[in-house]
Amino acid sequence: MPASDVLERFLRYVQVDSPSDPDHLDQTPSTACQHDMARLLADELAELGCADARADEHAYAVGTLPASPGSEAAPALVLCAHIDSSPDAPAHGVRPHVVHYEGGPLVAGVVDGEVVQTTAEQVPDLELFKGQDIVCSDGSTLLSADDKAGVAEIMALLARLAANPSLPHPRIVAAFVPDEEIGHGAALLDVESLDACGGYTVDGGALGELNYECFSACEATVTVHGVMVHPGSAKDVMVNAITVASEFQQMVPAAERPEHTAGREGFYHPTDISGTASDVTLTYILRDFDAADFDRREQTLRSIAAFLNERYGEGTVTVDVRQQYRNMAEKFGPADQRLIDNALAATREVGLEPVAVPARGGTDGAQLTFRGLPCPNLATGGYNAHSVREFVPVPSLELMVDLLERLVAKFAAAPAEA
């Protein structure tokens, strides 16, 4: 297959600042800079022949590439990626560079005299990439391969199809969405207007992986209200919110923290703490694949709060839960099997052995699936997401464009004709 422009696009996209901000959940996008990325993509979609290319007031960039000749009757296929970078690591001023990897530690850069590197012990797949070019940041920021690798791969596919109109494909709706990293993502995407049979998010990890099940997720805010008096006369009166918050955390099952779980095991993850002896706020994210176990986790936090309220007084501890997304496997049915089968087949056709992996995280696909647009999640080839050690091999970027070409060709015929 001909080489694509995926590397050029990826290097350019990661240099456009677009981190999301969990402190601004009340607005979409959560950061104004995401508009820059959305407008850039809308302009490029228009240049590729997407007559409806647009970026809206919420930084959603959407465009439809017409079907190849003879495939006009096939339902549209959505390809989705997110434009925001994670707020979990520095994300402004990304400076990507290409390292020719010859083995040993993969060095991204040196920051304040410290070498920022990835070893084969940390990422066993690293040894597979000897002799390859690998894109890293300079070590001071993340790379934003999550998910600008997915953005670049989709855009490079569209560029290839636009340059070679005879390559078979249905109408393809490219949808680039903001704020996925803070749980918003595709929430405002007008699914009904897309008139699509389904789609794929391109937001995964190692090549060959396919996700059609994921965590169910919520965020729990635990608020502790203390009783403050002068410490010199505090006996039998003071309730120190810091002390109560510490007790709360100690009662959360220690063996069910992220650092002790894998596979289909869920977890409780404290992400933030703030406050004083008067008031403390703890934030947790809860994750599980099983619906009953997911509900049990929420109830565990409420039971801990009830126990502490009995000890310290009603209203001392409150728990507020915000639902984020559900396991997409709950909504996949027999009619959606074509999406999975075609992805597995396309993966094999480019020489990879497909592996169905339950995603220990969420994608826009979970949200879209629950809104009636089934969307399994494809790999991007990236590693160490949300980290200054993030990297993606250049051949992996290229191979994903080839995989996407094979995949969309399978939807060029209407399902009844396939």
Contact 34, 21 (CB under 8 A): no
**Shortest CA distance to 14 belongs to which of 365, 397, 375, 312?**
397
Does residue 256 have an active-site annotation?
no
Contact 81, 189 (CB under 8 A): no
Contact 183, 216 (CB under 8 A): no
Please, where are the H alpha helices in 124-263?
Answer: 145-163, 191-194, 241-251
Q: Is 262 helix (H, G, I), strand (E, B) or coil?
A: coil
The span from the first CA to the last CA of the chain, in angstroms, equals: 24
Residue 320: cis peptide before it, omega within 30 degrees of 0 = no
Q: Is 151 exposed, middle or buried (0-12, 13-18, 19+ CB in 10 A)?
A: buried
Phi/psi-derived region of residue 235, left when phi > 0, alpha when psi is between -120 and 50, beta in every other case: beta
What tokens were used for 205? 């990890």
Does residue 84 have an active-site annotation?
yes
Residue 194: what are its φ and ψ, rounded to 5°? Answer: -75, -25
Catalytic residue among 21, 44, 84, 405: 84
What tokens were used for 316? 């001392």
**What string of DSSP letters covers 343-401?**
HHHHHHHTT---EE--BSS--HHHHHHHTT----EE----BSTTSTT-EEEHHHHHHHH
Neighbours of 106 (CB within 10 A): 24
What tokens were used for 342? 């075609």
Q: In what order do the strands lie in the sheet with 133-136?
A: 97-100, 133-136, 391-393
Catalytic residue among 21, 147, 153, 180: 180
Q: In what order do the strands lie in the sheet with 317-325?
A: 267-275, 279-288, 216-225, 317-325
Residue 29: cis peptide before it, omega within 30 degrees of 0 = yes
Q: Cα 35 to chain center, whole Å?
A: 19
Q: Which residues are catalytic?
A: 84, 180
